[in-house]
Structure 1
Amino acid sequence: MSTATVDSVGRGTKASKASKDHKKPTAAALKGAIQLGIGYAVGNLSSKPDRDVLMQDFSVVESVFLPSEGSNLTPAHHFPDFRLKTYAPLAFRYFRELFGIKPDDYLYSICNEPLIELSNPGASSSWFYLTSDDEFIIKTVQHKEAEFLQKLLPGYYMNLNQNPRTLLPKFYGLYCIQCGGVTIRVVVMNNVLPRAMKMHYKYDLKGSSYKRRASRKERVKPCPTFKDLDFQEMHEGLHFDLDTYNALMKTLQRDCRVLESFKIMDYSLLLGIHVLDRKPLVRGNRCDSRKGQKVLYSTALESIQGNVKDPEPVADDDTLGGIPAKHKDESLLIFLGIIDILQSYRFIKKVEHSWKALVHDGDTVSVHRPNFYADRFLKFMGSTVFKKIHRKLSHQCQSCILRYFCNFSLETHGVVVAAGYTSFNQPDLLPQSAVSFESAQNEEEDAENRSFFYAAQIPGSLQNPVLNDESQNCLMT
């Protein structure tokens, strides 16, 4: 009879009576088995010819036993005996190739040096390991999540073919390690927050408000992960130039609609903020013997810029692919990605939402219908978290455009101009306000703008006149 247990590093495992005869593997042994297993699986793939991915490839699970003394097919190792299961190996090989990850680089990143264990601020029992070169995150997942990911692969394949630039997690491999009665499943993903860049603020945002505040235990950590209510108290929104804002929101909208189509909800936006003006860039812990792989579209900036000329963008060494932004007078670099997408709106989630809605406003709790969740998520990101920088027209631009409107009206309607005043075929009447930007230089800027827009509404002018070249240039500035 099987019983559920939790191993020394906090992961859910399954043990049986037979496992009592085995010595429970240490955390270091499990990490080593993960590295050895992935190395064996990727190396074994090199003997298989390249071909198109077929539908049946997504459901394949390959299993091999790796005894410590080695065998005709497997290498000897100093870890306890373990069994390795590799899910959809050909499909994941295609995903790695799509993002420009070469097998040798993938193996070097994962297997060359010990994995770095990271803390998990979330509610899940998952643990995270980071490769020494900062490229990949290895996350433990539950059986249901691994099963759901494998079912998701055909749709994921279709979406990546249509749009490789995405803020969704980039999955590079799914594996299962069974060692000494302990079973762990791990997924290899892109690293959203590079360690080489100091994150002065870190947020996990869902767009909901129910219990969306960091706990006291989390707040005392050296680098806490805050939540939605904390963001609204600590920041008044992050401001981007118009093109960047539009590219970011377009990417988020596209990604959310994909998640909605798969009936996925309860995902988060992981947001890291580096303040450029606060401290110089912090380098550190990046492998000195080898530069980062610079996986295609792996940085935040590369993931949202869909119309760049360079087919192989490379993250700038000073920004590590961060997105420039402003907050008040501070210059920022933003790092972000959508995480935790392996939660579908199954029966248990529907029950959870109904139960929480009884004691709190149902629209504010995290768990919700996928379409409502996506709409609320996008609204929160597009209005509260991310904002556009509104540029005001300069005096020169205002004068140029005003000059055009005045000339247009003069030529079309016979306006008489004398001593700075305008009159529309009524020389005995003065207009309500004489427009002269030169005389209004000492007024407040909002008063200038009101004068400008009044001038643009001269009676008799066309609704959408064609501007001359000089005026058009000012409008586009």
Structure 2
Amino acid sequence: MATAGPVSTEGANSTRAAGTLRMASVEGQTSVSSLQTNKRTIGHRGIDPTGETTYKKTTSSDLKGAIQLGINYTVGSLSQKPERDVLMQDFEVVESIFFPSEGSNLTPGHCHVDFRFKTYAPMAFRYFREMFGIQSADYLNSLCNDPLIELSNPGASGSLFYVSSDDEFIIKTVQHKEAEFLQKLLPGYFMNLNQNKRTLLPKFYGLYCIQAGGKNIRFVVMNNLLPRAVPMHLKYDLKGSTYKRRASPKERIKSLPTYKDLDLMQDLPEGLLLETDHYNALCKTIQRDCLVLQSFKIMDYSLLVGIHNVDRPGDEASMPVPDQKRNQGQKPLYCTTMEAIQGEVKGKAAPEYSESTGGMPAHNPKGERLLIFIGIIDILQSYRFVKKLEHSWKALVHDGDSVSVHRPGFYAERFQKFMCNTVFKKSSLKTFPSKKMRGVLTGQRKASTAVTGQTQPGQPSVMVAQTNAEQTQPDEDSDSAVCPTSETPGIREKDPCPDLITSPLARDLADTTH
């Protein structure tokens, strides 16, 4: 009996141990499976068993087809309506059309799932497109004639991104709250465009919604800030914050990492150097955009900065070529922001450095010529209760002034000071050299062309400057944007900050408010 007891107990323990092992194995497999599933899903974006991207369980191919069918129909039908001034009620209009796969009297047949397509404020967005110089025919040609290209590195937001084949437009899926906020923002956006045509805010060309499979998929069409035709050597997402504002190790191994504020302060301690008039005009534009964002209690936005180094060795083979799909007289849309920032200086010839590729001329302290592409992004977030809680919690643990999420007024002020004191600085030398010193950017695909400095016949040249080297309400006693002082590294004391309004470019910017 005494012997049998332990044997029986050992057997039971062995059985229980085996059972526990099997349960642990099953749980482990479930955990691994769950982990793999989580890796394949970010927000509403996921991957189906075939490897195709999905958004709210709608495949990317169905979504792209629905986008093109819907935009082609709505913009085409809108072009038949006479032009008129935009009315307040236009911002609240929502038009809807059903697209059955077998087709209807109004819609063509298609091979995708049945869906309903909604267009928000069509008259208002047509007005916006016209203000940006986009004709309906060009809009349709860019978005609907060729397949949309899905971006393979969409980021951690869970959104899907598509780019048009001619590189002009970006399509981004947005959440319900973001779409709702943009609708409320439209009247103010309309006013800002009329008062500040040199804005760095996103250029919104359309807001739409696709209803399929019981889900609402909302998306916006915007300008493409970073053209694929111009190789970017550096890219920064800047908020003016230092709390955890450094690219992660996972981000750094990407082919084109998106660096952050602390990275820029380490990589470019002397900032990006701009010609004085360009610097003043840019800071004035940032100041005005900050006031608009603050008035709508918007925060957590960023300044996206793309940098192309013209003098980077060995890049001749990667130089951009003219887009054959674009009309000869049509400039790329990412040019317009840079040209607007510089403005048209009375009595001076317009700069010729970016006729085909866009970009603002700058240089680094090494004297290397740069083209920078900039714009404010992620503006569809207001300072609501959740953000207030987030900031309060972070402020308890960390320095309240350094965290990213902040009340709109403080956020804007910090943003503007960081952009105009740390990121961008005034150069002491002339930005625009003589024509003999201007480099040719477009068309340099052969080494011989790079050596001679001449373009091939029939290829437009892009003149690039060669030298040596963002949002809130301003101070109550000052009407000028923040600018460097003698305490700012890299700025000489004898180079005082002039009143922005005295600059010809700044006067041109200021005239848009009158």
State TM-score, norm by structure 2: 0.69
Deviation at 1:297, TM superposition (A): 7.6
Distance 2:154 2:57 in 1: 26
Q: How does 1:203-352 map to 2 (within 5 A)?
A: 203-236=236-269, 237-278=271-312, 279-280=315-316, 282-283=318-319, 287-291=323-327, 293-294=330-331, 298-308=335-345, 320-328=357-365, 329-352=367-390
Residues 256 and 352 (structure 1 numbering): CA distance in 2 closer, same or farther, change over 3 Å? same
Distance 2:404 2:153 in 1: 19
The answer to whether the Cα contact below 8 Å between 1:273 and 1:335 also exists between their aligned partners in 2 is yes
Structure 1 residue 87 corresponds to structure 2 residue 120: yes
Residues 336-373 of structure 1 show CA distances to partners (whole Å, capped at 9, x for unaligned) of: 00000001011111111111111111111111011101
Residues 26 and 128 (structure 1 numbering): CA distance in 2 closer, same or farther, change over 3 Å? same
Which of 380, 385, 388 is equivalent to 2:423?
Answer: 385
Matched residue, 2:400: 362
Give aligned pairs, total: 380
The answer to whether the Cα contact below 8 Å between 1:99 and 1:297 also exists between their aligned partners in 2 is no
Deviation at 1:123, TM superposition (A): 4.1
Residues 42-94 of structure 1 show CA distances to partners (whole Å, capped at 9, x for unaligned) of: 01212322111111110111111110111111121121111111100110011
Distance 1:218 1:121 in 2: 12
Residues 111 and 10 (structure 1 numbering): CA distance in 2 closer, same or farther, change over 3 Å? farther
Deviation at 1:315, TM superposition (A): 7.8
Deviation at 1:299, TM superposition (A): 3.4
SS at match of 1:86: strand
SS at match of 1:246: helix
SS at match of 2:137: helix
Identity across the alignment (%): 68
- Larger Rg, first or second structure (1 or 2): 1
Matched residue, 2:53: none
Q: How does 1:90-239 map to 2 (within 5 A)?
A: 90-120=123-153, 122-236=155-269, 237-239=271-273
SS at match of 1:210: coil
Distance 1:249 1:79 in 2: 48
Residues 273 and 297 (structure 1 numbering): CA distance in 2 closer, same or farther, change over 3 Å? closer
Which of 48, 57, 76 is equivalent to 1:43?
Answer: 76
SS at match of 2:112: coil
Distance 2:113 2:322 in 1: 30
SS at match of 1:374: helix
Residues 207-264 of structure 1 show CA distances to partners (whole Å, capped at 9, x for unaligned) of: 0011111111111000110000111111121101111111111111111111111111
The answer to whether the Cα contact below 8 Å between 2:231 and 2:320 also exists between their aligned partners in 1 is no
2:281 aligned partner, one-letter code: A
The answer to whether the Cα contact below 8 Å between 1:273 and 1:332 also exists between their aligned partners in 2 is yes
- More deviation in 84-93 or 285-294? 285-294
1:280 aligned partner, one-letter code: E
The answer to whether the Cα contact below 8 Å between 2:237 and 2:305 also exists between their aligned partners in 1 is yes
SS at match of 2:288: helix
What is the aligned-residue RMSD (CA, Å)?
2.8
The answer to whether the Cα contact below 8 Å between 1:116 and 1:130 also exists between their aligned partners in 2 is yes
The answer to whether the Cα contact below 8 Å between 1:176 and 1:183 also exists between their aligned partners in 2 is yes
Residues 399-436 of structure 1 show CA distances to partners (whole Å, capped at 9, x for unaligned) of: xxxxxxxxxxxxxxxxxxxxxxxxxxxxxxxxxxxxxx
State TM-score, norm by structure 1: 0.74
1:290 aligned partner, one-letter code: R
Deviation at 1:6, TM superposition (A): 10
SS at match of 1:299: helix
Deviation at 1:285, TM superposition (A): 8.7
Distance 1:281 1:252 in 2: 35
Structure 1, unpaired ranges of 5+: 14-22, 393-448, 453-477
SS at match of 2:210: strand
Residues 285 and 224 (structure 1 numbering): CA distance in 2 closer, same or farther, change over 3 Å? farther
